[in-house]
Structure 1
Amino acid sequence: MEIKSTQFDMTNPFAPLQRRVNQVETVLRQMPPAQREQLLAEMLPPMPMHRPAPPIEQAVTMVTVKVEEWNGGPVVQQRYPTAVLRPRRIVGYIPWQWRWIVTGIRLTRIVRKSAKQQMKQFNKLQRQMIRRVLPRRNAMRGARAR
């Protein structure tokens, strides 16, 4: 069984679709004009006619509008500030060296946080041990004197 090399060639992902469209166009060209128009009328819905945009934009017209008098009451304000949508940064290709650096920085933060928590826990246990073994006079606050 022979496999066409173009079947797996993804340099143009639209190639199979374009081939199919070309086949349909050749079949339509070979049909008689009356039959072709009838088939197209059945298949395609009528397209709305769009007016082409004028090459030159129309001039802006200023219009005055009558506004009711303000009675001095409270001015209605928006509840929420206007949302400003900023475009997200598109991340490009990051070299593997940078990835290692970023991973190292993150790992350093994780290790520091863990060491800090362990130090805190160790100091707490140390304080508890010191409270248990205390001189009989002048005990620390919260410790039981013997």
Structure 2
Amino acid sequence: MSLRESTRSRQPAGFSVSARPGPRAFDSLITVAAEMALADGEAQPAEHLALLAFLRQHDMLATLGRRATLDRFAAALDTVAARHAAGEPDAPDLAGMLRPVAGTQAARLVARAAAHVAAADGALHPRELALLHSLHAALGLIRAEQPA
């Protein structure tokens, strides 16, 4: 049997390639985690830890770096808190902010990260639930409700 014949008869190797989220997906994930952490009024230490655990679980923390991730999360929390202090509790343009990842494989990752942060303190606040619903719609994971 020649080399050409032996390679043609082989089955493809059984492995899969997992795509790592790009910078836009990571930015969206951090922003959404900050929005979720402050949806109930105050970011808890458990929500910081939940974000780190989520990133570690999805093999992203080592690549991104713990300190850099926490710094970016703190900056996002400051931005959201400043908006809340100015009397603007809701994200100004959630759909626009998430447009770069909407409908992509990263959309599910961003939504799962938000849910993970929401569940971190053991209670789901009504504003967290509303934000989760809005996030899913903005990410293209469910259809947005049609006005009556």
Which structure has more helix as a fraction of its residues?
2
What TM bracket, shorter-length normalisation? under 0.3
Which of these two proteins has the greater Rg computed from alpha carbons? 1
The structure showing larger relative contact order (alpha-carbon pairs under 8 Å, at least 6 residues apart) is 2
Q: Under a length normalisation based on structure 2, what TM-score does the superposition of the two structures give?
A: 0.20
TM-score (norm 1): 0.20
